[in-house]
Structure 1
């Protein structure tokens, strides 16, 4: 009987030693993100500026309390995101320009509480204009901000906002998509008047 028990025990031990099947817990999944096709259309309306924006976006007026004329939102309903544009006329006043540039940096710096990095660069656009781009890393609602000006009449600031409380790892495709759209907007930006 003792030998019979040892044989059963050895059979069980040999059977448990099979390492061909390894089970892992299922990792947390991220939502599926279907990015819209990057097709563009010209901004319509009586604005002091024009640019091309995504056909998957909707233009709406900015209705915040502090909104001024020509402030708009480029909203991406399928991505739960938007680009907010604030326009300021300069009328040749360089002190206004200095104030608007300082305000742009002040608004970007509000994200430093949760930001892990912030990069600023002046970029020369294909259309001959220059723009300042501010990229912010970390768990922040706005990863990409920019402004463009002709230094005499026009100042336009844009900020990309995500309306989702999801970790940034899963939002990277959306952020990259919106950065590409923002660059397209800057490349096609023209001043009216």
Structure 2
């Protein structure tokens, strides 16, 4: 009985201390630099502006990769010339590539682009959810040129985690679509 009483006193005295306070969940705050855009001149039938924080790589056939190493993301841009009335098949492929992500996407929001002055017509897709890509787009002049683009992150898709970066890069994609111009 004495041992039990001594043990009880030791436990009782040692358990006194500060109250446990549950801390609220912290939110990660990601801040990205303000974008500064510059015009890219390349030996291709089109030109556009890119964010100076992106690293551009020109591939064969005027395909362009814009890497964002700090975000581990890349915007892949492909160019196709319209030949033999293949505009319908190019549009079908671009739309099918976007809607193949409906399995994992929570929502796909479409924003059309119509610029009849500069002859740029297209669609911007914002893909919300744990899909492999967060944004897709295409632009065309409906006669000679067709450009598509996709945004991919080098990580397993977790929309909550990559959302701030996805929003930042969606603005860069919108800028590409708004500044693209065709060379004659």
TM-score clears 0.5: yes
Q: Which TM-score tier does this pair reach, normalised by the shorter chain? A: 0.7 to 0.9
Q: Which residue of 2 aligns with 1:36?
A: 33
Shift of 1:27: 3.5
Shift of 1:152: 0.5
Give the 4+ runs in structure 1 shifted more than 4 A. 125-128
TM-score (norm 1): 0.77
Q: Does 1:168 align with 2:159?
A: yes
Distance 1:165 1:28 in 2: 22
Number of aligned residues:
167
Change (3 A) 1:126 1:59: farther
Q: Which residue of 2 aligns with 1:47?
A: 44
**Is there any run of 5+ residues in structure 1 with no aligned partner, and where?**
1-11, 63-67
| Alignment RMSD | 2.5
SS of match in other structure, 1:178: helix
User: Alignment partner for residue 83 of structure 1, among 60, 75, 78?
Assistant: 75
Q: Which has the higher strand share?
A: 2
Q: For each residue in 1:76-106, what CA deviation from the matched residue of structure 2 results, as whole angstroms up to 9, or x when unmatched?
A: 1111111101100014x32x11111111011
Distance 1:159 1:186 in 2: 12
User: Alignment partner for residue 131 of structure 1, among 103, 122, 130?
Assistant: 122
Q: For 1:8-157, what aligned pairs fall within 5 Å after superposition? A: 23-24=21-22, 27=25, 30=28, 33-62=30-59, 69-91=61-83, 93-94=84-85, 96-125=86-115, 128=118, 129-157=120-148
